[in-house]
Amino acid sequence: MLDGTTATIKPREALRINPAKTCQPIGAMYAALGLHGCMPHSHGSQGCCAYHRSHLTRHFKEPVVATSSSFTEGASVFGGLANMTQALNNIFTIYNPEVVAVHTTCLSEVIGDDIPMMIKKATEEGIIPNGKVVIHANTPSFVGSHVTGFANMVTAMVKYLSESTGLTQTQKEANRRLNIIPGFIDPSDMRELKRIAEGMGVGFILFPDTSGVLDLPQDGHYRMFPGGGATVEQIKAAGDSLATLALGHFTSRPAAEELDEKCGVPAALLDLPIGLTNTDRFIHALRNYGGVDVPATLGEERGRLLDAMSDLHQYFHGKRVAVSGDPDHVIALTQFLVDLDMQPAFVITGSMGNHFETRIREILAEQVPDAVVEQNTDLFALHQWIKNKPVDVIIGNTYSKYISRVENIPFVRFGFPTLDRMGHRYFPSVGYMGALRLMEKINDALLDKHERECADEYFELVH
| DSSP-based three-state secondary structure for 348 | strand
Fold entry, domain 169-216+223-292: Rossmann fold (3.40.50)
Beta-strand ranges (E) seen in 45-106 are 67-68, 99-104
User: Residue 70 corresponds to which amino acid?
Assistant: S
User: Residue 304 corresponds to which amino acid?
Assistant: R
Cα(415)–Cα(434) distance, rounded to whole angstroms?
13
Cα(284)–Cα(382) distance, rounded to whole angstroms?
36
Task: Flag whether pLDDT at 365 surpasses 60.
Answer: yes
**Planar angle of CA 304, 308, 314, nearest 5 degrees:** 160
Task: Flag whether pLDDT at 207 surpasses 90.
Answer: yes
Whether 329 and 271 have beta carbons less than 8 Å apart is answered as no
Whether 343 and 369 have beta carbons less than 8 Å apart is answered as no
| Rg of the chain in Å (alpha carbons) | 23
Beta bridge partners of 380: none
The one catalytic residue in 106, 330, 368, 373 is 106
Cα(329)–Cα(350) distance, rounded to whole angstroms?
12
Task: Flag whether pLDDT at 304 surpasses 80.
Answer: yes
* Helix (H) or strand (E) segment spanning residue 153: helix 146-161
Q: What pLDDT shows up at residue 12?
A: 84
Cα(437)–Cα(195) distance, rounded to whole angstroms?
17
* Helices 296-316 and 431-453, packing angle to 10 deg: 20
Cα(299)–Cα(173) distance, rounded to whole angstroms?
26
Q: How confident is the model at residue 2 (pLDDT cuts 50, 70, 90)?
A: low
Task: Flag whether pLDDT at 356 surpasses 60.
Answer: yes
Q: How confident is the model at residue 1 (pLDDT cuts 50, 70, 90)?
A: very low
Fold entry, domain 24-143: Rossmann fold (3.40.50)
Q: Where in the chain are all domains bearing CATH 3.40.50.1980?
A: 24-143, 169-216+223-292, 297-457
The predicted model gives 371-390 an average pLDDT of: 96
Cα(349)–Cα(325) distance, rounded to whole angstroms?
5
Whether 161 and 236 have beta carbons less than 8 Å apart is answered as yes
Nearest to 191 by CA among 436, 439, 426, 32: 426
**Long-range CB pairs of 117-123, under 8 A, 24+ apart, other chains included:** 118/80, 118/81, 118/84, 118/85, 121/81, 121/85, 122/84, 122/85, 122/88, 122/89
Q: How confident is the model at residue 4 (pLDDT cuts 50, 70, 90)?
A: confident
Residue 48: active-site member = no
Nearest to 419 by CA among 437, 404, 397: 397
pLDDT, tens digit (0-9, with 9 covering 90-100), for 410-427: 999 999 999 999 888 899
Percentage with pLDDT > 70 across the chain: 100
* Integer angstrom CA distances of residue 314 from 147, 276, 309, 341, 451: 36, 18, 9, 10, 16
| Residue 386 CA from chain centroid, whole number | 26
Least confident of 74-88, 233-247, 270-284, 411-425: 74-88
Residue 106: active-site member = yes
Cα(420)–Cα(411) distance, rounded to whole angstroms?
13
Q: What pLDDT shows up at residue 410?
A: 97
pLDDT, tens digit (0-9, with 9 covering 90-100), for 68-119: 999 887 777 777 899 999 999 999 999 999 999 999 998 899 888 999 999 9
CATH class of 297-457: alpha beta
